[in-house]
Structure formats: structure tokens, C-alpha cells
Amino acid sequence: MDKSENNSASLLQKSIITFRVTMLTGSLTGKLRTKIIIVLLLLLIIPDQISAQKKQKQIAPPVSDDFYESLLVLSSPQMEGREAGKRGSMMASDYIASKMKFNGLQPFGDLTSEQSRKKQERRSWFQNFKALTFRDYRDSMLLTGVTTTTRADTASLRNVLGIINGKDRSKNIIIGAHYDHLGIRDGKTFFGADDNASGVAGMLALAAKWSASGIKPPCNLIFAAWAAEEKGLIGSSYFVQQKDPGLNKILLVINMDMIAGNAPEDTLHRTVSIGTLPESANLRRIAIKANRSRSEPFELDLWDVVGHWGSDYACFSTTGIPVMTFFSGFSDYYHTPDDTMDRTDLPKMENILKLVNDCLFQVADSLRTR
Ligand SMILES: [Zn+2]
């Protein structure tokens, strides 16, 4: 049944009830009859208001239809393995920006002119920056401004950033995932479907759902696709170093890096790992509760991110910003040309996104009651 059918059914139901009320009260005298009718009509209206409020509180989680296309496009041969600084990753960033725009987000990248710098408006989808790339160590990059004695070239990179403005614009939750991968090596394309087209497709699907709900979140939601994670967490490092004046307070960073794979020992495909700071007991409680409420709960592997640098969360957690980093396990295809779309576990990814969506909602909702 679609929404309009639902509405007309409930209208019909209401008129029938109102008619019955009028019949019943027909024998009563003037004032008393009016009072009874008013009370009964209020009883008809109030439950509707309550259910509307309840509806407002829920954001539908993404299903596979919502992330299939992005996963397919980002892990396609045309993206050439999305190596940072190369053509494929530029194409991927263009695609991500176009999806953010299509999904109704506002751009949250660089300010577009000196004049707008003062006004704090008009931004691009991209946060552009440069990094040094080392010929002899093709897996590493350093942000420019770092002194080095080694010969290095400069690569142009960009993070992609979109925002849904919240009621309280002084607070932010970031939902991020890196979009780069390993490129083409020895003639072989590293497609990076699980690592990390999955995280980016998940991030875009969450953005689409929150945007389409039309509900203003309690704080800003910033959706981020980080560049050059594989070269040493370069994009997220740059973002943190910028201390953007529009970013006063980051309450939480949700990071998704590889959410569509299974470790070989995870034979039932039920393991999800979530890393947090040790002091974030509240976030672990939220994750456990959200997981328990599922019909088929995951086996949660909760771990402490201190001392780990495995993904973009580290640039935030080392500065004391709370993080939740979601990961589905190292598959046999990790960092091989076999990390392809057909080997991703779409039902698992869908269920992880439900969990992420629940956690995001719970954290955002807790702001309402503060
Ligand atoms: Zn990765």
C-alpha cells in the first residue's frame, strides 16, 4: 500500500467514526453533546499526532538497492583502481560529488572565493590539497610542508565533503570512508570493491536516506570521502590539520573501511568489528544495544583504537575525538586484484549499514535530550 492509499483509508475510517459519534450523541442535549463531540474528536486527532512524532524519529536504513549502483561504479574497471593522484581516483571523486549533489546534500569543501570566505558560504564539493609522492616508495605520500631530503613529486588530491545542516550548527557528526585504492600494478587492476568502494557506497546510501527523510538532524551531519588513505591516511590527516572554522565541535566520527567482506574463519559471515576509544563506554553500549535489537545479531568484536593506525579514524582518535570504526573482516581477497564486486557480501553489508544507521540515530538522538 502506498502513502496516498494509506491516507485516504485513514480519512475514510475517521469519517465513519465521526458519523457514528454524531449518531450516538444525537439524543443528548446541546452543551453536553458539543463537549462529548469535542473530546471524541480530540481522541481521534491525538493518536495521529503521536504516531507522526514517532515516524519523525525513524530514518529508514539503506538496503542493497540504495548502494548497489555506487558499489558497482566505484569498483568498475573504468575507475582504474582509484589510486590517489591518478585519473581513476579523480573520476571517482567526481562521481561521489555528483551523488552527494543528487542526494540533496550541501557542498562542504573549500570556500569558493575570497569574498565568500568572509561570509562563510558558497563552498565546493572538494577539499583540494597537495602531497609529496615518493618515486621509490609508491605506497607512501606526505602532506606538503613537510621537509624531506628524498626526491619527491607533488600530487594533487581532494577529499569530497557534503553536509546536512542540523538544528544545532555548532556540533557535527562525521560519517566518512576512504575512496582511494591501489590502482593498476604490473598491468593488473586492483578494483577495491570491499576496500573501500563498500564504505563509500554505504556512506552515500546513508546520506541519501537521511536527506530524503526531510528531518533536520539535531546536529550537522558531514559526509566525507577521504583521499589517499592507502598512502598513509593523507586525506583525513589534511582535514584534521585544517581546523575548518565551520567545524566547531566534532562529537563523533563514524568510519567505514571494508564493510562487505568476510574473514575466512568467519564461516557464518556474522562478525563485525567496531573500534572505539576506551573512554567511549556510551558508544559501545549504543552499539551493543543496537545489535541486540536485530533479529539476527552480529557477533560484535569490540576493540580499542588506541595505538592503531589502520584507517582514517586514527587521525581523529589521536586528537581525542570519539570514533566508531566499522569493519567486516580481512577477506582472502584483501589487497589483491580479486577484491571485486561479485565477491562482496551484499546482505552482510546491508545489515552492517542498518547497525551503523541505528548507532548514528542513537547518538544524534541523545543530543535532543541533552
Ligand atoms: Zn581501506
Predicted confidence (pLDDT) per residue in 301-359, tens digit? 999 999 999 999 999 999 999 999 999 999 999 999 999 999 999 999 999 999 999 99
112 vs 331, more confident: 331
Compute, in angstroms, the gap from residue 230 CA to the centroid of ligand 1. 7
Across 139-151, average pLDDT: 68
Euclidean distance between CA atoms 330 and 43, whole angstroms = 55
Compute, in angstroms, the gap from residue 107 CA to the centroid of ligand 1. 24
Confidence band (pLDDT; 50, 70, 90) for 114?
low
CA-CA distances (angstroms) from residue 192 to 17, 329, 337? 59, 14, 8
Compute, in angstroms, the gap from residue 233 CA to the centroid of ligand 1. 10
pLDDT at 51 over 90: no
361 vs 113, more confident: 361
What's 194's DSSP letter?
I
The proportion of the chain whose per-residue pLDDT surpasses 90, expressed as a percent, equals 71
> What one-letter code names the amino acid at 217?
P
Euclidean distance between CA atoms 304 and 292, whole angstroms = 21
Hey, how many other C-beta atoms are within 10 angstroms of the C-beta on 329? Answer: 21
Q: Are 260 and 330 in contact (CB under 8 A)?
A: no
CA nearest 75: which of 166, 206, 200, 197?
197
pLDDT at 207 over 80: yes
Among 53-57, 64-68, 189-193, 255-259, the range scoring the smallest mean pLDDT is 53-57
Can you give the pLDDT at residue 248?
Answer: 74
- The interaxial angle of helices 346-368 and 281-292, nearest 10 deg, is 130
Compute, in angstroms, the gap from residue 196 CA to the centroid of ligand 1. 5
Q: Please report the sign of the dihedral spanned by the C-alpha atoms of residue 23, residue 29, residue 30, residue 32.
A: negative
Can you give the pLDDT at residue 112?
Answer: 84
Cis peptide bond prior to 196, omega within 30° of 0: yes
Mean pLDDT value across the chain: 85
Q: Are 112 and 122 in contact (CB under 8 A)?
A: yes
